[in-house]
Amino acid sequence: MNTVQVGNFEIGNGKPLALLAGPCVLEEMDRCLLIGRTIKEICGKLGIPYVFKASFDKANRSSFNGFRGPGLKKGLEMLQHIKDELQVPIVTDIHTEEQVKPVAKVADIIQIPAFLCRQTDLLYAAAKSGAVVNVKKGQFMAPADMRNVVDKLHEGGCSQIMLTERGATFGYNNLVVDMRAFPIMRSFGYPVVFDGTHSVQLPGGAGTCSAGNREYVPNLVRAAVGAGVDALFMEVHDNPEEALCDGPNMIYLDKLEELLKDAIAIHDIVRKQL
């Protein structure tokens, strides 16, 4: 398996379990720094490589009036400040080809949202950026279909690739995680990530916004690590009830450490078999 270089650490191929985590979307700077700094301290204590995650624009909100974030210019300024202040790598998502170049100047990992994972031109532009590219598997796709996504990135010259599972559509307003997805996508030769919080989302379940079942995050995270993931993606907040986006599926900051301890213990067993 190929490893992916992010900052001063590698992800994949038996390396320590990595974490991509932070608030769903950029909120006020003090809160973002609080969340990021606390997660970094937890990861440092547990020996987990950490990447700060937050979106500058959530372009696929259920409602036109849903909170989207500060936008590209201000959002990248905020992410650069967080990167400099906390001294951690950054991952954020893009929605258009025009966003690739400015985002690649700040982000160590460019993320392709699940709804856009088949967009050839977007993938090709991201592949040429020189950044690591993390693609979330669409809720409408089988794991094996991600082989075509990998091939598109190869056409753009990218070999720094990660693939993320975030659940598949199951009826209306519900998602289900097929644990077979992890070994299937891992067989393509690149690290696989589990999005433990979006996988418990109920898309559009609250009418004009998504609902969620955060109580199931620990169960799915432990199961996914047991199935052989290389990294975890989680949206974390000090008070999800106050979060401006995706609060119902975000986990509490003060619950993160215990969950990560379980994940590390499982990963230490499983990676010997990978």
173 to 15, 139, 151, 208, 211: CA distances (angstroms): 35, 11, 31, 12, 9
CB contact set of 20 (below 8 Å; sequence gap of 6+):
51, 53, 91, 109, 134, 193, 231, 232, 233, 234
Please tell me whether residue 164 adopts helix, strand or coil conformation. Answer: strand
| pTM score of the predicted model | 0.95
229 to 15, 75, 81, 100, 247: CA distances (angstroms): 11, 30, 30, 27, 25
How confident is the model at residue 245, as a pLDDT? 85
**What is the number of structural domains in the chain?**
1
Separate counts of helices (H) and strands (E) for the chain: 8, 15
When computed from its CA atoms, the radius of gyration of the chain, rounded to whole angstroms, is 17
Q: Which domain holds residue 179?
A: 4-270
pLDDT tens digits, the chain, 274 residues: what are they?
Answer: 899 999 999 999 999 999 999 999 999 999 999 999 999 999 999 999 999 999 999 877 666 767 788 999 999 999 999 999 999 999 999 999 999 999 999 999 999 999 999 999 999 999 999 999 999 999 999 999 999 999 999 999 999 999 999 999 998 989 999 999 999 999 999 999 999 999 999 887 767 677 889 999 999 999 999 999 999 999 999 999 998 888 889 999 999 999 999 999 999 999 877 7
**CATH number for 15:** 3.20.20.70
Give buried/exposed letters for 31-48 (b at 16+ CB in 10 A, else e): bbbebbebbbebbeebeb
